[in-house]
Amino acid sequence: MKSGFLSVSGAAKTFGAATVLDGVDLSMGRGEFISLLGPSGCGKTTLLRIVAGLMTPDQGKVALDGEDITRRPPHRRDVSVVFQNYALFPHLSVAENVAFGLKARGAAKDAIAPAVTKYLGLVQMSAFAGRSIKALSGGQQQRVAVARALAVGPKLLLLDEPFSALDRKLREAMQIDLKRILREVGTTAIFVTHDQDEALTMSDRIAVMHRGRIEQLGTPAEIYHSPATPFALGFVGLSTQLPGKVVRAADGMVEIETAAGPIRARANFIPGSAVLVGVRPERIAIGEAKANRIEAALADAAFQGARVQLHFAAPAGGQILAEAPILPAQAGPGTRLDLSWDVEDTLVYPAPDLAA
Amino acid sequence: MSKAGRFDPVLLLAVPAVLYLALVYGIPLLVLLGRSMLAGGAPSLAPFIGFFSDGFSWIVIGNTIRIAVLVTLLCLVIGYPTALALARAKGLAQALILVAIILPLSVGVVVKAFAWQIVLRRDGVVSQIMTGIGLWDEPQRLLFTEAGLVIGAANVFVPFMILPIYSVLKLIDPRLGEAAATLGASPVYRFFKVALPLSLPGIVTGIAFVFSMAASMYVIPNLLIGDRFQTLATMTGRSFLFMRNEQLGSTTAVVLLVLTVAVVVASAALSKRLGGAS
């Protein structure tokens, strides 16, 4: 499955003095759903445009289904795009929009109508076939855009933040719908988003992008539980982060001195290394006695329904947060609580270079 | 939609323009119409019946429409690609094209006429090029011909075709072309199925501008083709200035007015319908 159906190698792109894409490699299998996740300006949309053929990389290659398509124009790539603003043709009806790609490819007339019916049905927009695009809501336009992109039977479907303009409820419904539709059609897809929840919910694998590079490519669980870099730790999910210095190292174990106290972890660093310690909030127990223990003063508690998120006063350059089903009894701002977690749940990274 | 039937006070902003046009244009026009119909003392259609029963009048109407249509077509053929390039251009290139389009408007028609004489005479630039590349067997004079008139008039009016088309093209979302491309549409297919239909309102506006100006031009035919060739506009001018025939002049003026108003109103209606679809 993870063979190179789509393979991007060494893709680089600069605009003037700005390096937007800094040598990106990405390989994905047929039928796979990969999200490119990162903040705005990380290069994810540039990478998508290069794969679509809407932009040519300065360096690197793009191959799809065994063919080098690096310099092939977009209309001969078999790569459909669902754009952020939908980009539906305003002068055409819903059905004409869905039929556009088939007509452009010179499909037989009697093959077009059944395909339009099929894909409008798939996105539950059959009742709107004759409507004008302008008469549709944002969510409906989104469905038509997906049907239009899928109707040509593309080898690869690219989605550029397609749900960012929708309200939260509709967005979540569309995420589930899109997954169902892509499963039914069996389409290989790349999904660009800056929304980590969206990426975690929908993807087979996630590529976390930062400053024109892919920092980590892995399953949502891998990304969440074993983030490869401090950026992945910080961008995906919440975490406690404490800067420190390795004071002892032996047998794959290190002892780290932090402002909150000594912390032990499984890692290989030479003594004296500046490091960053990370822990996911749900791994931290309150008032128990696990291997790594610190004491911290409660600063703020955010009620989130099923859980309460607890923020603690943290040493410079760090943050401490934990989660609990309910607010601990008699706890208020300033209350000092015992926080502890297992050695196995302790993540250690080389201290991020703040200047970079 | 919910405001239908209710008066929008913003419409009052049009009052100064309406008053101005009524004073300097509408009222004199009514006087003109009155002169042509009240010539015998009582209202009568006799001047129009007389005009339309004269064979020469039909030649003049034919001349007017033919020249206006040819000028409009030439402007469209030259103007559309220019508008397309202008909408795509950025920064300095765009500024240069815009200057090249708009600057000639500041050069008077009389000055242009001297330039045309250089270009259109028997040993002029056009004639030399055409014989040079072998399309013409011998040098020909374009000056004082209908072809010369069409070329000269299009030269004056082409900005009025380019600018409305450009302003519509500029507003088309570039993602639409990209979406069409990723759906498998070739550049030519994209142009005919996306850019062209979406720019129709601009084309219609440009046609209305150029047609009405070309149908009513007076100075350009005088300079480029002379008295032997009459259009409704030159005939109106001759009637008032040389023949002192106010009745004929007002009649031809009214016929010309009806003709251009019909084209402008029809194109406005067409534009509204096309605009409603985009």
pLDDT tens per residue across span B199-218: 999 999 999 999 999 999 99
Q: In whole angstroms, how large is the CA radius of gyration of chain B? A: 22
Q: Does the beta-carbon distance from A54 to B189 stay under 8 Å? A: no
B192 C-beta neighbours (distance < 10 Å), count: 11
Domain map of chain A by residue range? Answer: 6-228, 238-245+273-350
**Pair type for strands A240-250 and A261-266:** unpaired
pLDDT over threshold 90, residue A58:
yes
Instruction: Answer whether B130 touches A (CB < 8 Å).
Output: no
Please give the angle made by the CA atoms of A32, A209 and A156, to the nearest 5 degrees: 30
Average pLDDT (B249-268) is 89
Smallest Cβ–Cβ distance between B186 and the set A75, A83, A88 belongs to A75
Are the C-beta atoms of A209 and A43 separated by less than 8 Å? yes
Average of per-residue pLDDT values in chain A: 93
Q: Does the beta-carbon distance from B184 to A89 stay under 8 Å? A: no
Are the C-beta atoms of B250 and B36 separated by less than 8 Å? yes
Are the C-beta atoms of A22 and A57 separated by less than 8 Å? no
Confidence of residue A354 (pLDDT cuts 50, 70, 90): low
Identify the CA nearest to A156 among candidates A26, A58, A40: A26
d(CA B17, CA B14): 6
Q: Does the beta-carbon distance from A80 to B198 stay under 8 Å? A: no
Instruction: Answer whether B103 touches A (CB < 8 Å).
Output: no
pLDDT at A220: 96
Are the C-beta atoms of A79 and A156 separated by less than 8 Å? yes
pLDDT at B31: 86
d(CA A304, CA B172): 44
d(CA B154, CA B147): 11
Confidence of residue B277 (pLDDT cuts 50, 70, 90): very low
pLDDT over threshold 90, residue B5:
no
The residue in chain B having the minimum alpha-carbon distance to the alpha carbon of residue A158 is B182
Q: Does the beta-carbon distance from B182 to A52 stay under 8 Å? A: yes
Q: What is the pLDDT of residues A162-193, one digit of tens each?
A: 998 888 888 898 899 999 999 999 999 999 99
In the DSSP assignment, the letter for residue B1 is -
Contact residues on chain A for B189, CB-CB shorter than 8 A: 104
Average pLDDT (B113-137) is 86
Identify the CA nearest to A47 among candidates A10, A91, A80: A10
Beta strand ranges found along A29-153 (DSSP E): 33-37, 59-64, 67-68, 79-82
Domains of chain B with bracketed CATH: 53-276 (1.10.3720.10)
pLDDT at A3: 64
Are the C-beta atoms of A53 and A69 separated by less than 8 Å? yes
Smallest Cβ–Cβ distance between A80 and the set B175, B183, B194 belongs to B183
pLDDT at A75: 97
* Burial letters A95-128, b for 16+ CB under 10 A, else e: bbbbbbbbbbbebeeeebeebbeebbebbebeeb
* Chain Cα centroid distance, residue B98: 20
Average pLDDT (B247-275) is 85
Amino acid at B220: I
Contact residues on chain A for B187, CB-CB shorter than 8 A: 75
In this prediction, does ipTM exceed 0.95?
no
Residues 6 or more apart whose CB falls under 8 angstroms from that of A49 comprise A55
Average pLDDT (A56-78) is 96
Average of per-residue pLDDT values in chain B: 89
Confidence of residue B275 (pLDDT cuts 50, 70, 90): low
Class of domain A6-228: alpha beta
Phi and psi (nearest 5°) for A292? -100, 120
A135 C-beta neighbours (distance < 10 Å), count: 11
Q: Does the beta-carbon distance from B181 to A100 stay under 8 Å? A: no
Q: Does the beta-carbon distance from B176 to A152 stay under 8 Å? A: no
pLDDT at B4: 55
Contact residues on chain A for B178, CB-CB shorter than 8 A: 52, 54, 74, 81, 83, 87
The alpha carbon torsion through A49, A52, A53, A56 (nearest 10 deg) reads: 40
Please give the angle made by the CA atoms of B215, B217 and B219, to the nearest 5 degrees: 160
pLDDT at B214: 96
pLDDT at A330: 81
For the record, the structure tokens of A172 come out as 């979540």
pLDDT at A355: 44
Average pLDDT (A151-164) is 94
Does CATH place domain A238-245+273-350 in 2.40.50.100?
yes
* Burial letters A8-33, b for 16+ CB under 10 A, else e: bbebbbeeeeebbbebbebbbebebb
d(CA B175, CA A162): 14
Contact residues on chain B for A93, CB-CB shorter than 8 A: none
pLDDT at B108: 85
d(CA B256, CA B214): 11
Q: Does the beta-carbon distance from B181 to A149 stay under 8 Å? A: no
Contact residues on chain A for B193, CB-CB shorter than 8 A: 100, 103-104
For the record, the structure tokens of A21 come out as 């894409």
The least confident of A119-128, B163-172, B221-230 is B221-230
pLDDT at B39: 66
